[in-house]
């Protein structure tokens, strides 16, 4: 399980997710409301529960840092 809070750690969270998925591990992802706002502010990616696949793909394909 990966939990992301509102801290400016979205590049680190993306790196952890990429690593876990690259080795084929299942991942449960929890994003707080503050994390969603931080993600939007830092990357321009808007996260919506109903359509989470596109934001996740955009986030994980964005350059780190």
Task: List pLDDT tens digits, range 34-52.
Answer: 999 998 998 888 988 778 8
Is the distance from CB of 15 to CB of 62 less than 8 angstroms? no
Distance between CA atoms of residues 4 and 15, nearest Å: 12
Domain count for the chain: 1
32: domain range?
Answer: 2-61
Closest CA to 6 of 51, 42, 49: 42
Q: Both tokens of residue 58?
A: 């955009």
Is the distance from CB of 36 to CB of 6 less than 8 angstroms? no
Whole-structure pTM value = 0.78
Separation of CA 6 from chain center: 11
If one compares 6 and 12, the residue with the highest pLDDT of the two is: 12
Structure confidence at residue 10 (pLDDT): 84
Q: Is the pLDDT of residue 65 over 60?
A: no
């Amino acid at each position: 399980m990966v939990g992301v809070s509102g801290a400016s750690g979205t590049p680190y969270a993306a790196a952890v997710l990429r690593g876990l998925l690259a080795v084929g591990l299942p991942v449960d992802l929890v994003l707080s409301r503050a994390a969603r706002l931080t993600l939007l502010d830092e990357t321009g990616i808007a996260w919506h529960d109903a359509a989470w696949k596109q934001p996740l793909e955009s986030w994980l394909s964005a350059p780190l840092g």
